[in-house]
């Protein structure tokens, strides 16, 4: 069973990679191999370069903000605030919402004529300006805002569960030693949350790599091509633009950082085991 499952994945991935060396248009065809021509074109395509730049910017910013806000919120909840259940539901709710809906809602919120900007101006703050999506230089930050809004809740939930798992005695010991609460969180609780942090990070990282529907709902890739993302490049090329091989070349490039991450992970595991073995002997 496991062999079949893994086999299917490996065959699927291998098939996609092989396709990227052909000149398949609509149908997968293996009769003409064109070497690296698709990769050549890919890395000289402005839209792909912008997509790559965007995903790094979006990934780093949104993961950092997500983790930071998620941890702050989790610590806040952990103080046994009143109506904790209500807050938790409200904060977790965006995660239950489809990314297309998230995108549309934020598109309206950030629309200069409909959203926050016009509301503030109508309330008398005439100089207030908040319309990141209208400018190609700031649009990506608008995407980050929507992404963080959507994903913070789940980070909070995971970290909160982690915090609740920490032994009460540790808190008591810290209090007896007179350590301020914030230091207990940062220097004692945070290191103990390693597992929860890793889980939250992996979830966020995966949602960054495959970000597609948020872009479609929020900006459609615009203004211009300022908020294009790799996954959208792949899907556009294997559907409408009828260039499967170029799409697969892009998909293969998206696979590389993931393989790299898995590789690093395996290497760390292997080293830890090696160290443990040496210690045992």
Partner 1 sequence: MAGTRLRRLLTTAALGAFVTTPAVAAELEVIHWWTSGGEQAAVSVFADEFDALGGDNWIDTAIAGGSNARAATMQRILGGDPPDAAQFNISRQYEDLIEADLLLDLTELAEAEGWRDFIRPAAILAVCERDGRIFCVPVNIHSWQWAWASIPVFEQAGVPLPKNIDEFLASAPKIQQAGFIPFAIGGESWQHSGAFAVVLLNSLGRETYHRLYRDKDPAVARSPEVRKVFETFRSLKQFSDEGSANRNWNDTTNLVITDRAALQIMGDWARGEFALAGEKPGVDYECIAGPSEQPYLSTGGDIFLFPKQDDPEVEAAQLKLASMMVNPRVQALFNNAKGSLPIRDDVDLSLADACMQKGLALLQNPDTVVGDPINFVTEDTNGQIQDLFAQFWADDSLTVDNAQEQFAQIIETAN
Which residues make up the interface to partner 1 (CB under 8 A)? Answer: 25-27, 45-47, 107, 111-113, 131, 133-134, 136, 139, 219-226, 236-237, 239-243, 246
For residue 106, the minimal CB distance to partner 1 (Å) is: 11
Q: Are the CB atoms for 256 and 236 separated by under 8 Å?
A: no
Q: Which is nearer to partner 1, 88 or 237 (CB)?
A: 237
Bond before 278 cis per omega within 30 degrees: no
* Residue 48, H or E segment: helix 46-78
For residue 210, the minimal CB distance to partner 1 (Å) is: 18
Residue with tokens 């490039």, as numbered in its chain: 253
Q: Which is nearer to partner 1, 133 or 200 (CB)?
A: 133
Q: Which is nearer to partner 1, 48 or 149 (CB)?
A: 48
Q: Which is nearer to partner 1, 65 or 133 (CB)?
A: 133
For residue 244, the minimal CB distance to partner 1 (Å) is: 10
For residue 280, the minimal CB distance to partner 1 (Å) is: 55
For residue 114, the minimal CB distance to partner 1 (Å) is: 9
For residue 220, the minimal CB distance to partner 1 (Å) is: 7
Q: Helices 139-164 and 84-96 sit at what angle, rounded to 10 degrees?
A: 130
CA angle 127/136/140 to nearest 5° reads 95
Q: Which is nearer to partner 1, 41 or 203 (CB)?
A: 41
């Amino acid at each position: 069973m496991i062999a079949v499952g893994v086999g299917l994945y490996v065959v699927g991935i291998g098939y996609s990679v092989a396709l990227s060396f052909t000149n398949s248009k609509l149908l997968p065809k293996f009769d003409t191999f064109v070497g690296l021509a698709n990769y050549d074109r890919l890395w000289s395509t402005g839209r792909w370069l912008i997509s790559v730049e965007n995903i790094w910017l979006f990934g780093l910013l949104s993961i950092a903000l997500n983790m930071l806000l998620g941890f702050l919120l989790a610590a806040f909840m952990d103080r046994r605030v009143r109506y904790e259940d209500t807050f938790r539901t409200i904060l977790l709710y965006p995660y239950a919402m489809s990314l297309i809906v998230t995108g549309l809602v934020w598109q309206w919120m950030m629309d200069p004529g409909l959203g926050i900007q016009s509301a503030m101006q109508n309330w008398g703050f005439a100089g207030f300006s908040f319309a990141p999506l209208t400018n190609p230089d700031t649009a990506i930050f608008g995407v980050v805002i929507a992404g963080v809004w959507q994903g913070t809740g789940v980070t909070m939930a995971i970290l909160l569960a982690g915090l609740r798992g920490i032994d009460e005695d540790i808190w008591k010991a810290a209090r007896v030693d007179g350590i301020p609460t914030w230091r207990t969180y940062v220097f004692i609780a945070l290191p103990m949350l390693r597992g929860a942090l890793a889980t939250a990070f992996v979830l966020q990282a995966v949602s960054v790599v495959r970000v597609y529907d948020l872009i479609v709902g929020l900006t459609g890739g615009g203004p211009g091509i300022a908020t294009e993302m790799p996954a959208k490049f792949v899907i556009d090329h294997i559907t409408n633009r009828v260039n499967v091989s170029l799409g697969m070349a892009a998909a293969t490039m998206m696979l590389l950082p993931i393989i790299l991450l898995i590789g690093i992970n395996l290497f760390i595991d292997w080293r830890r085991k090696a160290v443990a073995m040496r210690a045992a002997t």
